[in-house]
Amino acid sequence: MNLPTTIKEIDNLKAKLDQYPSFNEGELARLREHFMVENTYHSNAIEGNTLTLHETRLVAIEGLTIHQKPLREHLEVIGHRDAFEYIAALSDHSELLSERVIKEIHALVLMNDTKNKGVYRKVPVQISGALDETSEPAQIENGMKQLLVNYHADTKHPLEKIAEFHLLFERIHPFIDGNGRSGRC
């Protein structure tokens, strides 16, 4: 299936979904929580976090700690959860994506790294296994500004626009760590 066909199918499914009654607040809260836990688990697992889906739920929802699991892994769950909740709150108020918002998301995701959270990197990095090269540190600030200008001016379908933004954000790779988790929130 090509992109226009996929987008049309998604729009058709959305139109069908819109014909059903809306969820009540309790149902929406349950779905949001379920998605947050799943998203947090998978995003952190990609980065090597060893907490299981069930353990992620216990840390994120119940506030429990998991015996003999590193504190860093618990903090990754809490940071990702907090970033997810922050984004949900922003979307409830229709706040526009900005550099400030991106840096705040990153600061939440990287909550355990006081030196680097929410700060653009100052050293070159390479993504292991990637063919694309990341932006040089001197290019990051202008690259992020241009990325946001283009994003807000873009008239493509929202899904295509978001996917392109994510791809370009990861290519710039503005932070020393936490780019993937920030982008996946």
Residues noted as catalytic: 173
CA-angle at 31, arms to 25 and 33, nearest 5°: 100
Residue 101, exposed/middle/buried by CB under 10 A (0-12, 13-18, 19+)? middle
CA–CA dist 160, 184 (Å, integer): 15
In this structure, are residues 170 and 180 in contact, taking their beta carbons and an 8 Å threshold?
A: yes
User: Which residue type does 64 have?
Assistant: L
Both tokens of residue 103? 């840096």
Nearest partner of 59 among 79, 32, 84, judged by Cα = 79
C-alpha dist (Å) from residue 138 to 162, 174, 175: 25, 10, 12
Instruction: Calculate helix-pair angle for 137-153, 99-109, nearest 10 degrees.
Output: 120
